[in-house]
């Protein structure tokens, strides 16, 4: 059975990922989340009692706790969605964004690398680290209105700068240490349990 550790799994996108994975039935899911203001345990009520689901409250900047959780759970993949993500909040105060998005990502990458080095054979070959990022690292898209994997980074807020930095860290850990990293850059999305500070629920509500 696959074992997936999801960071930030009580957030809007993270909880959707967790619900999907748990619903598949053949995946064990460990949700590691700090439960900040944007974390919503109610978004996970439908799967809270599932046999293939576990929740651990924790901070991705806490290396000791990450080590303990990762070494105990022994994931076949890590999906990193934990992040501070609101542009206006980052402008008002960038500290949490630097700590979570940059220091937290670094700490998680190091914990993952340490664990990955203990694996061998098929387990080592199959392991993946998915770093979930944002299209905001590319800045204003101008008249083209699109971006690709080769678009130049041009962050324009403390939030997008912190996510750009985390992308560069993830890519560097792949190139330097061989850690099997994947990076996705999500564009705007919406759906159930969307936090009301975001544009679409703000307009609707």
53 is known as an active-site residue: no
Residue 191 neighbours by CB under 8 Å, 6+ apart = 12, 16
CATH of the domain at 118: 3.40.50.720
- Taking 3-state DSSP, the helix, strand and coil percentages for the chain, each rounded to the nearest 5, stand at 45, 15, 35
Q: Which of 62, 96, 135, 153 is catalytic?
A: 135
Tell me if 133 sits within 8 A of 183, measured CB to CB: yes
Instruction: For residue 135, indicate whether it is catalytic.
Output: yes
User: Does residue 24 carry a catalytic annotation?
Assistant: no
pTM of the model: 0.92
pLDDT in tens, the chain (205 residues): 899 999 999 999 999 999 999 999 999 999 999 998 888 899 999 999 999 999 999 999 999 999 999 999 999 999 999 999 888 788 888 999 999 999 999 999 999 999 999 999 999 999 999 999 999 999 987 776 788 888 999 999 999 999 999 999 999 999 999 999 999 998 877 777 776 666 676 666 6
> Which residue among 53, 106, 138, 159 is the active-site one?
159
- Tell me which of 59, 136, 138, 167 is the catalytic residue: 136
Q: Looking at the 3D structure of the chain, how many domains does it have?
A: 1
Per the structure, the complete domain to which residue 161 belongs is given by 2-204
Please state, in angstroms and rounded to a whole number, the distance separating the CA atoms of residues 113 and 155.
27
């Amino acid at each position: 059975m696959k074992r997936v550790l999801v960071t930030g799994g009580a957030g809007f996108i993270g909880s959707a990922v967790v619900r999907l994975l748990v619903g598949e039935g053949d995946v064990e899911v460990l949700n590691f989340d700090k439960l900040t203001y944007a974390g919503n345990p109610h978004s996970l009520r439908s799967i809270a009692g599932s046999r293939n689901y576990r929740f651990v409250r924790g901070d991705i900047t806490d290396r000791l706790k990450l080590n303990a959780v990762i070494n105990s759970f022994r994931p076949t993949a890590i999906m990193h969605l934990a992040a501070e993500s609101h542009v206006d909040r980052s402008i008002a105060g960038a500290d949490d964004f630097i700590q979570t998005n940059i220091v937290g990502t670094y700490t998680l990458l190091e914990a993952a690398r340490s664990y990955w080095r203990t694996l061998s054979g098929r387990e080592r070959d199959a392991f993946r680290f998915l770093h979930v990022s944002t299209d905001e690292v590319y800045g204003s898209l101008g008249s083209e209105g699109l971006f690709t994997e080769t678009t130049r980074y041009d962050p324009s807020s403390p939030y997008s700068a912190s996510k750009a930095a985390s992308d560069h860290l993830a890519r560097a850990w792949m190139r330097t240490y061989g850690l099997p990293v994947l990076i996705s850059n999500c564009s705007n999305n919406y759906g159930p349990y969307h936090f009301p500070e975001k544009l679409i629920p703000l307009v609707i509500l």
